Every structure is written in C-alpha cells, then in structure tokens.
Structure 1
C-alpha cells in the first residue's frame, strides 16, 4: 500500500501465495467540483471514492484459451497451491516417476485381474458363485489379519525407513500380480486357494507399507504446513494417471490374449514399474537422520576431522594438537549428497563407515558391526555371549561393568557398551536410552557407537577385553565432548539443511531407563 500524488491516492497491491502481484487497486477521493456533490457527501457522512483496478497480468476472457492458460489450469488442479515454493525441491522428480509407475501398474493390474477372473471360474459353466464368494472372503480375511500383524511388527520403522518401505510396497504388489497370473495354471482346490490367499496377503502388506510411507513422504514434501493438500493433490494425480492407464490397458488386454504374450507383457510392465519406483525413491532427499544416513553423515564428518587420528594412540589424547579453526576442514554432507550415497535396502542396525568422497574415486564403505538402540536393560545385560552368564530365579549375573558405565555416562542421556562376537572382529553396540534422552542425544549415542567401533576395528587396537573397551569408550566420549565438538557437529549439519530434532533411529518400540 502506498500514498501517491497530491490527492492522497492510496495504492493497494494484491499478491498470490508466493507474493507475486496479481492486481493493483488505486483509490482516490473525488474532487468537490459541484455543490450537488458536496450536498450529497454531507448527507451520507462522507464522499464516494473512486477505485481503479489494474490486473497483473491482464485477466483473460473465458474464451481466450491459450496453452499457457491451460497449463496454469492443470497446475492449479493437480499441484499444491503455491507450487513450486510450497513443496520441497525433490517433489517434482518424485511425482514424475511416481506418475509413470502408476500408469504401468494400472495396465499390469488389468492383466492380473483377468487372470483372477479366469481362476475363479468366469466363463466356466461348472463354476459356482458361492465358491467364488467364499474364496473372496478367505482372501479378505487373510489380508486383514496380515495387515494387523505387519503393522504391529514394522509400525515403528515405517517412518524412518519410508523410502525402503515405499519401494517394498510395490515389490509386494508386483509379486501379488504374478501370483494372480499363475492362479489359472494351479489346480483347483486347496492349491489355488493358497496362491490367491497369498496374493491377498501381499496386497495387504502393500497397503500398509505403501500408505504409511507415502504419508511420511508427503510430510517431507510439504513446506508450508500443507500436508492435507499435498495428499489430496497426490490422490488427484494418481486418479487421472490410473484412469489413463485403464483406458490404455483396455486396448492392451483386448489384443494380448495368448499365454506367451500375456507373460511377456506382464513381466515388461512389472520391470518398468519397479524401475520407475526405484528412480522415484532415489530422487527423495530426506532431511532426517535415520540409521543409514547417520552412518554416512557422521563417518564423513569424523573422517574429515584431523584430530580423529589421535584416538588411535592413548597417550595423544592427553595433549591433543590445537588448531585455530579445525571445523574448517570438516566435510559436512547435504541431504542431496547423502541421497546419492544411501541404499534403498540396507541391513537394519548396521554400522557402516563411509569416508568422505574424493574427486578421483567414490568412498569405499567398511562394515564395522551392528548397533541396537533403545533396548531393554535385560537385553543389554545378556547381549554378550562371550561373557559367562548364569540366570537363576530373579537373579542375573553379567560381566558388563555397570558401575564404570554408569559413572562414565553420568552426564549423558544414554549408556553405550560394545561386545565382540569373536574371531570375526564384528562389534555389536548396545545403547540404553535414559528417560531424559532427546533426538540429538540419540544421534550422539549413534555417533559415539560408530566412532568407538571404528577405533576398535583398527589394526592397532589389539586389546578387546573389558579394560580395552572401556578405555576406547572413555577416549571417544572425551573426543566428542572436548570443546563441545559434537555440538558443533550438530550446528554444522543444521546449516546444511538437516533436521536433527526428528528422532528417526529407532525402528522398534524402545525402552527407557532412569538411573
């Protein structure tokens, strides 16, 4: 709004969701050039102002349909308001590949549906409607039970591992389509019922994994708190793409009728479907640190820390070298860089050391061991098979030095201990979380476990007894706390775009302790 001219004209500029001007309104008071106007103004308690409207850009008439107007209409209908500013940068590539995979899945679904109809007896005069209905009830029942069990088993892991379960959902769906197409070739009776019920179970797993992971991805894409609209527009996109796929699929189904042609077409569509889904989830750049991303981020920043080399020598920790600005040498990766390195399917709880990539070669990762976080105290005490344990009624004996661990982690929100599986030198880190733990303290415990296993896995670390493990835990904790090093790690990662206030390390229901 602005005042212009001697007549005190007021200019109002109207903008859209992204602050682009759409119209300009100029208000000006009328000039009192006649007694009639003055008398009229006094009767009504004031004057009649004038408002001039200028649209920016000029409004189009209903009949002036251009390509740009049609494109703007499609954007308004199928994309969130304020696009592309209202969503993250990886929204467009994900939706592109996701739309293409929905198209191929629609056509493949028609082929499998035709096979199911043949399997239940459509076209067979001896088929009974009652048997088909009972088969449908059995499929639905097995699918509902599978939904409950699967949600109970992996419910906690669906959000932190949303990319993996998004792709796994389509793997389940494609396997169900293959079983559907196999059903007409299976002898009628119990074998065919088992095949079709298995397909129903796989579709149920697809529904749980796909729906939950897509909800997490939508929450990631929404930038303006427009989660509901992002979900609604995603449904609109999927609806129109599936409709087009059904129209094209009706032509394909009518021409592809032979056994060989059906299977060749189906396998080609499923291969395309999975490839597009893989490309879609690979394009997503999550900003939360789950277990795999935490491995990549922390191993990169730790390997670039010049003071890390002094951890291999116990005596060097007494007088570490001082640098004026050591953080200048730290290599902090952005979510886009980590997305290029992370795997879609990664072993749960693995501790993998991925040093910073160089300009000449890609980083070679090293598997250090495995880590469990948020476990119960009982599992923590019996986690080491190499220590002699004896259990009696209400009594548990363990060689883990709980007194030393409690004193070492007195000021921390977690307790970490490592065990060795034997000659393979595979380390198992177990983390107890206190009831005061936060998302950042959980990240610190994971970084501590990664760093400690890295030091113990070095050739110079020959002492793997309790004293040697406690010494490494003590030195690595001092390293992270020295000059608030981990706090500065968090600050550097936050500046790179990471959201470290989201707890995404626990993939199962966790436990907390109070010491």
Structure 2
C-alpha cells in the first residue's frame, strides 16, 4: 500500500500467495475546493473514486495464452505452486500422470476380458453366477485388506516409495489374471483366478492409498496436505478421463487375441517404467533404515577418528583419544536427500546393515538389525531353552548392558553367525538387536541405529583381521569382545557430543530428524 504526499490518493497492490501482483487499486478523493465543499454539504455526498488496474490485463494474445495457463495451474496445482510444494513434486506428478494414462487403457482391456469371462455375450451364462462371483471377489478382497493392513501397516510410511511401486505391481498382476480368465476353464479354476485378481487389487488399494498419503505429506510445504491430496485427485481424474477416451478407441480396434496381449504387455511395461521413474524422483527427507545406512556410513567413513576404532593397534603409539581430535574442524561428508535418492534402492532387504563407501562397491553387507523388539525377542536371539516354557537361559550379560546404556534411551547387543562364502571361508554375519526404552525419541532411535552400524563395522573388521586358523571363538571370548566394542563405540559417539554434531550437520543438509521412520513393525518399549 502506498500513500501520496497530498493524502488524496491511496494505492493498494493485491498479491497472491507468493507475493506476485494480481491487481492495483487506486483510491482518490474529490477536489477540496470551496464550491465542492458547499455542494458536498448540501447533498451530503463525498464518495471517493477507485480505479482498478489488473496486472494481467495487457493484450488479447497475452490473455489467450498466459491467462489460460494460469487458470489450469490454479485448477490442477496447489495454491502457491511451486513455492508451496517441494522441488521433487513436479517430476513425480509428471510421471505419475503418464502412468495413470497407460493404466487406464490397460484397465479397459482387462475389464473386457473379465466381462467375457463371466459370460457376457453367452446365452447360457447365468446372472446369478456372475453376481455370486462378484460377491466372492469382493469378500476375498476385503479380508485381504484387513490382513495386509495389519501385517505391513507400520512399514507403509517409512517405506512409502517401495509400497508405492509395489501397489502398481499388484495392480498389473491383477490385470494379467483378468485377461487370462477367459482362457481358464469355467468353475473353480476361473473363480480362483478372478478371486486372486480381486485380492491383488485390494492389496494395491491399501499400499497405494497409504503410500500416496505419505508422499503428499512429504510434498506439502505450507501445511497444505489436504489441498495437495485434492489436486492430486483432480489430476488423476482428468488423466483417467483422457485415458478412457483413448482407450475406447483402442478397445474397439484391438480385438484379436495376439494383438490384445501385445498391447496389454506394452502398456503394463510402460506403466511400471513410469512408476519406477516417479518414485526414483522423490527425495525423502526422513531417515528410514536404508537411508540411515547410506547417510551414517558415509558420515562415519569420513570421520578421521573412526580409524582408531577400526584399527586400534595401528594408533596405540599415538596415545591419543578421539577427544583430542574434537578441537579440529570436522571434515565430515554429509549427503543431502537428493544425493541419497540416487543411491537408495526401491526394494531393499528389511533390516539389513550395509556400509556404503566410495572405495567399497557394492556396499559391504555387515548383517541385520532389529529395532524396537520385545525383551523376549532380545533375549531369544542368543538364548537356550529350558524345561520350563516361561524361562530362558541366555548368555547375554544384561547387568553389564544395563550399566553401559544407563544414560541412553536404548540397549544394543550383537550376536554373530558364520556364513560360508564362495571362497569357502567363513565370514561372520552380525545380528544387532535394539531395545528401546520408554523415553526414546526419534533422534535416540537414529543414534541406536548408527551405533549398531558402527559396532557391526568394527566387529566385522576385527573378524576379517583375525588369523585364518581362528575359525571358532568361545562364547565367553565373543561376549567379552562384543562388550568391548560396544563400550568403545558408545564412548566414541558420546565423546565431545560427537553424535549431536552429526545430527546438526544432517539437519543443516535438509534432513528431518523429528520423523521416526526406522520401525517397520509394531514396536515395544521397556522400562529399566
């Protein structure tokens, strides 16, 4: 708003959500001469004048191009785009719209096959049998929805990229089964095929809907989650409409068996390729298990003090602890969400511990980790059964662990199992188990995972440096070695608030550490 010096005119500039001017309003008062004042007193009228100047009202050509484009952006994209969403919103929506187009055409081909399978066009077909088949399909799909949501409900948000792609794989498999149904003999075999297709579509609905909600929460930057979801529905609606119009032409032209299958397989291949490109373009800012492996292994690998943990015998002569290095400026390398999105896999083994490094290609597999498990699972990892069903004999030194982690929000222990490689040399696979206390936070969970990754790395390095003849390590020696590594690695992370420094640089590089995305199962907490 601007006010002129003579106080007779006020200019109001109207802007949109991102401060782009949309219109200008100029308010002016009538001239204040003696005759005018007398006339105003006589008629009791002193109305001001408002002149409106629209920023977009230039020429007819500009109106026909820019205004139409602005209208489409306003209808199909969130308000304030592109500032109201993340940078990866546009590439994801582009690929997502294209895959919806191909899926609409493939869906028409599969729907025609289903109608043929239930007897459309056959005078001997029974409407009651088709209705019963629909009820069976719907019932099996509803049961599958409940079971699938119970089984993977916790993992849908941390692994939203994986389940977003898995949802379309389920849907494409259902289309293939639909197209196979007319060739299956009528009766129980055809009912089984169509019911399986219904189950796969139910799984697609659970995985796709939940993962899309997580992705929308990631895309929304201004707290506009509801609008992002609504505009995504608008985009899918118009794309599906166009797909149905094009698909109606395809279905009317493609009628024979071989051409139908060629078109279907091409559309499904395009559909999955576009979905893969869509989820690959997403740059999640939360640290799930795989991203935590990549980020923390890169961060620890560039910390010069980690060398003392991996090779303590080579640094004994220096008589220098990690605290003596803390005064030096950190040379840690921290990956951004954009860098990690290029390295992470869409489908990754759940709970695997991998050490990523520029000198190790592919990443070295250290073992597996379970976080948020129950105390019984924690003890059973190395326990021996007894005659009583309610008691266990465990070699895990619980008093030492409780003392070591008394000031932490978690308790960590690692066990090993030998696995034979191709060179017939036994290499240990480390299994980390993490108990979470009831005081745990999202950042303490990340610390527990980083601790498990670092401890597994130190243990695997010391095992690789052991003499070849040492194929067997006694239980007491193994427990002592494991406890020593846990003590040294925990001291390393706490020395000089090192892990707090890690979280600071991660936050500065765009990571949201307030999101707990490490648990993929319903977790348990303990009180010590």
Between the aligned partners of 2:184 and 2:257, the Cα distance in structure 1 is 14
What CA distance in whole angstroms lies between the structure 2 residues aligned with 1:255 and 1:27? Answer: 64
Q: Return the alpha-carbon distance in structure 2 between the equivalents of residues 255 and 325 of structure 1.
A: 74
Separation in 2 of the partners of 1:8 and 1:36?
Answer: 15
Alignment equivalent of 2:332, drawn from 330, 333, 337: 330
Q: In 2, Cα distance between the equivalents of 1:143 and 1:60?
A: 57
Ranges in structure 2 where 5+ consecutive residues have no aligned partner? 419-425, 468-472
Instruction: Please report how far the alpha carbon of residue 390 of structure 1 lies from its aligned counterpart in structure 2 after TM superposition.
Output: 2.5
CA contact (8 A) 1:332 1:493 kept: yes
Whole-Å Cα distance in 2 between the matches of residues 335 and 157 of structure 1?
A: 20
**Which residue is 1:51 aligned to?**
50
1:225-263 Cα offsets, whole Å, 9 max, x none, are 111111111111111111111111111111111111111
Residue 142 of structure 1 aligns with which residue? 140
Mapped to 1, the partners of 2:272 and 2:405 lie a distance apart of 46
Closer/same/farther in 2, CA of residues 132 and 13 from structure 1, 3 Å limit: same
Report whether the alignment pairs 1:401 with 2:406.
Answer: no
Q: Give the secondary-structure state (helix, strand or coil) at the position aligned to 1:246.
A: helix
Distance in 2 of aligned mates of 1:216 and 1:327: 38
Counterpart-to-counterpart distance in 1, 2:404 and 2:210: 40
Q: Deviations over 1:274-321 (max 9, x none)?
A: 000000000000000000000000000000111100002447586226
Does the C-alpha gap of structure 1 residues 107 and 47 become closer, same or farther in structure 2, counting only changes over 3 Å? same
Q: Which residue of 2 aligns with 1:230?
A: 228
SS at match of 2:428: coil
Match of 2:415 among 415, 419, 429: 419
2:456 to 453, 456, 460: 453
Structure-2 separation of matches of 1:349 and 1:42? 86
Identify the match of residue 347 of structure 2 among 341, 345, 348. Answer: 345
TM-score (ref. length: structure 1)? 0.94
The worse-fitting range, judged by mean Cα deviation, of 429-438 and 2-11 is 2-11
CA distance in 2, matches of 1:21, 1:320: 60
CA RMSD of the aligned region, Å? 2.1
Matched, 1:320 2:321: yes
Number of residue pairs matched by the alignment: 507
Query: Within the alignment, does 1:152 sit opposite 2:142 as a pair?
Result: no
User: 3-state SS of the aligned residue for 1:370?
Assistant: strand
- Partners of 1:187 and 1:424 in 2: CA distance: 52
Structure 1 residue 5 corresponds to structure 2 residue 5:
yes
- Whether the 8 Å CA contact 1:451–1:476 is kept in 2: the answer is yes
How do 1:87-486 and structure 2 match up within 5 A? Answer: 87-314=85-312, 316=315, 319-320=320-321, 322-323=324-325, 326=328, 328-355=330-357, 357=358, 363-384=361-382, 388-390=384-386, 392-422=388-418, 423-458=426-461, 459-460=464-465, 465-486=478-499
Post-superposition offset of 1:26: 3.0
Equivalent in 74, 96, 113 of residue 76 of structure 1? 74
1:463-513 residue CA offsets vs partner (Å, 9 max, x unmatched): 760000000000010111111111010000000000000000000100000
Residues 9 and 249 from structure 1, CA distance in 2 versus in 1: closer, same or farther, beyond 3 angstroms?
Answer: same
Q: Which runs of 5+ in 1 are unaligned?
A: none
Deviation of 1:347 (Å): 0.4
Cα offset, 1:77, TM superposition = 1.0
Give TM-score scaled by structure 2 length: 0.92
Cα drift, residue 124 of structure 1: 0.8
Shifted more, 462-471 versus 397-406: the winner is 462-471
* 1:36 CA displacement: 4.4
Mark the CA change 1:34 to 1:290 in structure 2 (over 3 Å): closer, same or farther.
same
Task: State the distance in 2 between where 1:369 and 1:222 align.
Answer: 36
Tell me, in whole angstroms, the C-alpha distance in 2 between the residues paired with 1:324 and 1:414: 25
Q: Given that residues 334 and 496 in structure 1 are in contact (C-alpha distance below 8 angstroms), is that contact kept between their aligned partners in structure 2?
A: yes
Q: Secondary structure at the match of 1:167?
A: helix
> C-alpha separation between the residues in 1 aligned to 2:188 and 2:218?
45
Cα pair 1:391 1:397 within 8 Å, conserved: no
Per the alignment, residue 20 of structure 1 pairs with 20
- Taking the aligned partners of 2:210 and 2:38, their CA distance within structure 1 comes to 68
Q: Secondary structure at the match of 1:236?
A: helix
Aligned to 2:422: none
CA deviations on 1:49-99 (whole Å, 9 max, x unpaired) are 3333332233777x9851222211111111111111111100000000001
Counterpart contact for 1:306–1:326, Cα < 8 Å: no
Secondary structure of the residue that 1:364 maps to in structure 2? Answer: strand
Mean CA deviation greater in 393-402 or 131-140? 393-402
**Contact map agreement 1:455 1:461 (CA 8 A) in 2:** no
Q: 1:64 to 1:282 in 2, by over 3 A?
A: closer
